[in-house]
Amino acid sequence: MAKNKVKYIFITGGVISSLGKGIAAASIGLLLKSRGLRVTIQKFDPYLNVDPGTMNPFQHGEVYVTDDGAEADLDLGHYERFLDVNMTKNNNATTGQIYFEVISKERRGDYLGATVQVIPHITDEIKRRFETLARTGEYDVIIIEIGGTVGDIESLPFLEAMRQFMYAQGKKNAISVHVTLVPYIKAAGEIKTKPTQHSVKTLLEIGIQPDILICRSEAPLTREVREKIALFTNVDVNSVVDAHDVSTIYEVPLQFAKEETDEIVLDKLDLTCPKPDLKDWKKFVDRVKNPHGSVNIGVCGKYTEHQDAYKSIAESFVHAGAANNVKVNLAWIRAEDLERNGAATYLQDLSGLLVAPGFGERGVEGKIAAIKYVREKNIPFFGICLGLQCAVIEFARHACGLNGANSTEFDRKTAHNVIDLMIEQKKVTAYGGTMRLGSYPCKITKGTKTHRAYKKELVHERHRHRYEVNNAYRDILMQHGMVVSGICPTNDLVEIIELPDHPWFVAGQFHPELRSRAVNPHPLFRDFVKVAMEYRESHLD
Ligand code: GLN
Name the residue of 389, 424, 434, 440 to mutate for ligand 1: max ligand atoms within 8 A of Cβ: 389
Mutate which of 409, 421, 469 to test ligand 1's pocket (most atoms within 8 Å of Cβ)?
Answer: 409
| Average pLDDT of the segment spanning 180-203 | 92
Q: pLDDT digits over 349-376, tens only?
A: 999 999 999 999 899 999 999 999 999 9
Atom of ligand 1 nearest to the CA of 384: 8
H-run or E-run covering 406:
strand 406-407
Whether residue 17 has pLDDT greater than 70: yes
pLDDT for res 1: 44
Contact indicator for 332, 299 with CB cutoff of 8 Å: yes
Question: Using CA atoms, how far apart are residues 271 and 16, in angstroms rounded to an integer?
Answer: 32
* Range 275-282 contact pairs with CB under 8 angstroms and sequence separation of 24 or more: 275/35, 276/31, 276/34, 276/35, 277/34, 277/35, 278/31, 278/34, 278/253, 278/254, 280/519, 281/30, 281/34, 281/250, 281/253, 281/254, 281/518, 281/519, 282/254
Residue 363 contacts by C-beta under 8 Å, 6 or more apart in sequence?
Answer: 301, 302, 334, 335, 336, 339
Nearest to 487 by CA among 495, 499, 477, 479: 495
Catalytically annotated residue among 78, 121, 465, 511:
511
Sequence-ordered list of residues with C-beta below 8 angstroms from that of 538, at least 6 positions apart, any chain: none
- Asked if residue 151 has pLDDT above 60, the reply is yes
pLDDT value, residue 540: 65
Q: Which of 60, 80, 145, 385 is catalytic?
A: 385
Residue 205 buriedness (CB in 10 A; 0-12 / 13-18 / 19+): exposed
Instruction: For 127-141, write each residue's pLDDT tens digit.
Output: 999 999 999 999 999
For 405, 426, 477, the CA distances from 409, given in Å and listed in that order, are: 12, 12, 20
Q: Is 121 among the residues known to form the active site?
A: no
Nearest CA to ligand 1 atom 3: 465
At 2, the pLDDT band (50, 70, 90 cuts) reads very low
Q: Compute the mean pLDDT over every residue in the chain, rounded to the nearest whole number.
A: 94
Give the span between the Cα atoms of 531 and 514, in whole angstroms: 21
Residue 366 pLDDT = 96
List the one residue out of 179, 58, 81 whose CA is nearest residue 517: 81
The Å distance, Cα 53 to ligand 1 centre, comes to 12
User: What SS3 string covers 181-217?
Assistant: ECCEECCCCEECCHHHHHHHHHHHHHCCCCCEEEEEE
Give tens-digit pLDDT for 279-323.
Answer: 999 999 999 999 999 999 999 998 887 878 999 999 999 999 999
> How far apart are alpha carbons 346 and 332 in whole angstroms?
10
Q: By alpha-carbon position, which residue is closest to atom 6 of ligand 1?
A: 465
How far is residue 372's CA from residue 390's CA, in Å, rounded to a whole number?
Answer: 10
- The strands making up 467-469's β-sheet, listed across from edge to edge, are 406-407, 417-421, 467-469
Ligand 1 atom with least separation from CA of 464: 9
Separation CA 196–CA 183 (nearest Å): 9
| pLDDT value of residue 4 | 61
Tell me where in the chain the CATH 3.40.50.880 domain(s) lie.
292-538
Q: Measured in angstroms, how far is the CA atom of residue 465 from the centroid of ligand 1?
A: 4
Domain 7-283 in CATH 3.40.50.300? yes
Q: Could you tell me the distance, in angstroms and rounded to a whole number, from the CA of residue 509 to the centre of ligand 1? A: 8
Q: Which of 335, 405, 400, 408 is nearest to 365 (CA)?
A: 335
**Pocket-testing residue among 64, 303, 385, ligand 1, by greatest number of atoms within 8 A of Cβ:** 385
pLDDT in tens, 51-85: 777 777 777 789 999 999 999 999 999 999 999 99
Cβ atoms 281, 253 nearer than 8 A:
yes
Q: In which order are the strands placed within the sheet that holds 483-488?
A: 327-334, 294-301, 352-355, 381-384, 505-508, 493-498, 483-488, 436-444, 458-465
Is 306 tagged catalytic? no
Whole-angstrom Cα distance, residue 140 to residue 145? 17
How do 7-13 and 174-181 pair as beta strands?
Answer: parallel
> Which residues lie across from 214 on neighbouring strands?
179, 241
Model pTM score? 0.93
Q: 384: CA distance to ligand 1 center in Å?
A: 9
Q: How many CB atoms lie within 10 A of CB 437?
A: 18
If you take atom 5 of ligand 1, which residue's CA is the nearest one? Answer: 386
3.40.50.880, 3.40.720.10, 3.90.1150.10, 2.40.30.10: which CATH number matches 292-538? Answer: 3.40.50.880
* Alpha carbon of 520 to ligand 1 centroid (Å): 26
> Measured between alpha carbons, how far is 531 from 381 in angstroms, rounded to an integer?
10
The boundaries of every CATH 3.40.50.300 domain in the chain are 7-283
pLDDT of residue 535: 96
pLDDT tens string 404-449: 999 999 999 999 999 999 776 676 666 666 788 999 999 999 999 9
**What is the mean predicted confidence (pLDDT) over 457-482?**
96
Note the pLDDT of residue 429: 66
Distance CA 532, CA 515 (A): 21
Helix ranges, 469-522 (H):
474-479
Q: What is the pLDDT of residue 229?
A: 96
- Write the DSSP symbol of residue 492: T
Rounded-to-integer distance, Cα 82 and Cα 250, Å: 8
d(CA 49, CA 385): 25
Number of CB atoms found within 10 A of residue 538's CB:
10
Closest C-alpha to 92, from 81, 105, 79, 103: 79
Q: What is the pLDDT of residues 231-268, one digit of tens each?
A: 999 999 999 999 999 999 999 999 999 999 999 999 99
Cα 142 to Cα 8: distance, rounded to the nearest angstrom: 5
- Amino acid residing at 478: M
Alpha helices by DSSP H, listed for 348-448, are: 364-376, 386-398, 423-426
Could you write out the three-class secondary structure of 419-452? EEECHHHHCCCCCCCCCEEEEEEEEECCCCHHHH
Position 541 confidence tier, pLDDT thresholds 50, 70, 90: low
Which pairing describes strands 381-384 and 406-407: parallel, antiparallel, or unpaired? unpaired
Q: How many CB atoms lie within 10 A of CB 201?
A: 14
Active site annotation includes 385: yes
Q: What amino acid occupies position 142?
A: I
Band the pLDDT of 345: cuts 50, 70, 90: very high
Q: Within 6 Å (CB) of ligand 1, which residues are found?
A: 357-359, 385-386, 409, 464-467
